[in-house]
Chain A
């Protein structure tokens, strides 16, 4: 049973302290929902968890080992969905999806299955430049399914999604948790996950 935790994390961006003393702990099969006002550091915390940034103080650990000690190993464990969609307009939907899954040498769902799971199987051959914002978001979300990674880091995953897809997303996250995965989700809307902890980030000074 894996444990992903962070202790007393401080983070400074520019001159501003974005996080001070953030602490969390997460076990296999559990989700952590990040709440907080705009600018309270939700995205920053997710980027720290992904290893894109290093905390100024405190440490983020996986089974007791600092994730900064072996970044390559940590990269294999995570599927990070940030604000940006990382969808290339010049490529088709399938090409976009299978690029990321092949690049990570994925052990997760196949591209077509992932597209179907998010309800855009019929768009597979369309050039991505013709997608709507919500459809592009769904293409982005396929990455967490194809990656086969145990830890999903989702930054506002429901942005631009319609109600049905949000529900489908909740189902996918629940299934991921039921099979022993973990998820950290920053959101303003209540996803209503079966088992989740809550971390409310206050506006740091």
Chain B
């Protein structure tokens, strides 16, 4: 357990010292959303209609930007081999990396989101439920991303390949997340959607560390 916290502190320290990476993700998120009013016109009802979807898609793409670096640095400088040989089970290494990735990209995305809700004229009554979907959904991005990031180690243009691998898998998250907002507006309540999102989160929490760890073992062999 102590070793896990040592690893976590190192991940956070590295992330803090290279905070430009997180800032870039947030900047991309904001700019991608800001482009839409210019593209589709500033009609408030139109923006309110597409707002949740646009914000979620932008969040997916922004998270993709940082995904390929989850293991890349350690792979290139040889640290990954040593992590494989360390007393910490590789599944826990993956979980720590995912947690650090979420804290440095997912969480800032959630904090930035209300600003974009205002910009896209998203009705205030669905703000809480949309924030809830981000809270449940962004960890799934990091978890599934870890499998993709581990699989593309050693590949040329890994970042692009990673998006092709992971984005299709994230479609259910997108559907349930945006569906929650609509459900509140139609008065049916978002409970079912949120529970499905929670299910996806728990499922990926249980399965992805094993898959990613296996991919990492293959990468260093």
Residue ranges of A at the interface with B (Cβ–Cβ < 8 Å): 50-54, 72, 75-76, 78, 80, 82-88, 90-91, 95, 99-100, 102-105, 143
Contacts and interface: CB of A to CB of B under 8 A. Distances in A.
Contact of A100 (B2, B18, B76, B82): B82
B17 A91 contact: yes
Interface of B: 2-3, 6-7, 10, 13-14, 17-18, 73, 76-79, 81-82, 84-88, 220-221
A103 B7 contact: yes
B130 to A, nearest CB: 35
Nearest to A100: B82
B77 A90 contact: no
B14 A52 contact: no
B221 A105 contact: no
A52 B78 CA distance: 12
Contacts of A91: 10, 13-14, 17
B85 A52 contact: yes
B81 A52 contact: yes
Contacts of A75: 85-87
B14 A80 contact: no
A51 B77 contact: no
A86 B6 contact: no
Contact of A90 (B2, B14, B84, B85): B14
Nearest to B88: A103
A88 to B, nearest CB: 6
A94 B3 CA distance: 17
Contacts of A95: 10, 13
- Chief secondary structure at chain B's binding surface: helix
B82 A80 contact: yes
Contacts of A76: 87
Contacts of A100: 82
A72 B81 contact: no
Nearest to A51: B85
A91 B86 CA distance: 19
Given A52-B85, A104-B87, 10 more contacts: A52-B81, A75-B86, A78-B85, A82-B78, A86-B81, A87-B77, A88-B14, A102-B3, A103-B87, A143-B82
A85 B77 contact: yes
Contacts, number: 67
Given A87-B77, A103-B3, A52 B84 contact: yes
Contacts of B18: 90
B10 A90 contact: no
Contacts of A80: 81-82, 85
A52 B85 CA distance: 8
Contacts of B78: 82-86
Nearest to A74: B85
A53 B221 contact: yes
A104 B77 contact: no
Nearest to B15: A90
Of B81, B84, B85, which is in contact with the most chain A CB atoms at under 10 Å from its CB?
B85
B221 A103 contact: no
B181 to A, nearest CB: 39
Given A88-B79, A99-B6, A105 B85 contact: no
Contacts of B76: 84
A80 B80 CA distance: 12
Contacts of A103: 3, 6-7, 86-88
A153 to B, nearest CB: 10
Given A52-B84, A52-B85, A80-B85, A99 B10 contact: yes
Contacts of A104: 3, 86-87
A85 B84 CA distance: 15
25 contacts: A50-B85, A72-B87, A75-B85, A75-B86, A76-B87, A78-B85, A80-B81, A80-B85, A82-B81, A84-B81, A86-B78, A88-B14, A88-B77, A90-B18, A91-B13, A91-B14, A91-B17, A95-B13, A99-B6, A102-B6, A103-B3, A103-B7, A103-B86, A105-B87, A143-B82
